[in-house]
Amino acid sequence: MNIAYFLLPKVSVAYLYEDFTFRQGLEKMRRKGYSAIPVITRGGQYVGTVSEGDFLWHLLDERMALRSGFRANLEEMRIRDILRADSYRPVRITMSVEELVHSVMNQNFVPVVDDTDHFIGIVTRKDILRYLAYGKEQDQQLKKIV
């Protein structure tokens, strides 16, 4: 089975642009109620995922910097400034479900990109677990009918 079966397309997914301000990113995450959200360029390429923890750690770092006299404005900081390079690695649409399971074990969703690294959607851990719990049984029943 191909992971396209599980894909929640980009039009149905909340995401941030890398040039959004820190404040805009926090507001959108709060409004949507997400703990992590994909970040893309204005051209649509996936650049990473930012989490609540990323915002929190950055605020803590800024607070520490304030003590030394440095003052950063939340309207000047950009989402790209707080991204961690190693989080939420994307997968290609051609990946098998078995390979996908390893990615989903440590994160809520897996970003999916095309061959040019353009963000096309996500696969959620919930959908993979649902398939593993119930979907395989349904697949076997369909094979018996056909």
Instruction: Using DSSP bridges, classify how beta strands 46-51 and 36-40 pair: parallel, antiparallel or unpaired.
Output: antiparallel
pTM attached to this predicted model: 0.83
- Per-chain mean pLDDT for the chain: 84
Q: Minimal CA–CA distance to 28: which of 8, 60, 55, 47?
A: 55
- Which segments within the chain are labelled E, that is strand? 8-9, 16-17, 36-40, 46-51, 91-92, 109-113, 119-124
Fold assignment, 3-145: CBS-domain (3.10.580)
Comparing 66-80, 91-105, 121-135, the range with the smallest average pLDDT is: 66-80
Q: What is the pLDDT of residue 70?
A: 46
Q: Is the pLDDT of residue 135 over 80?
A: no
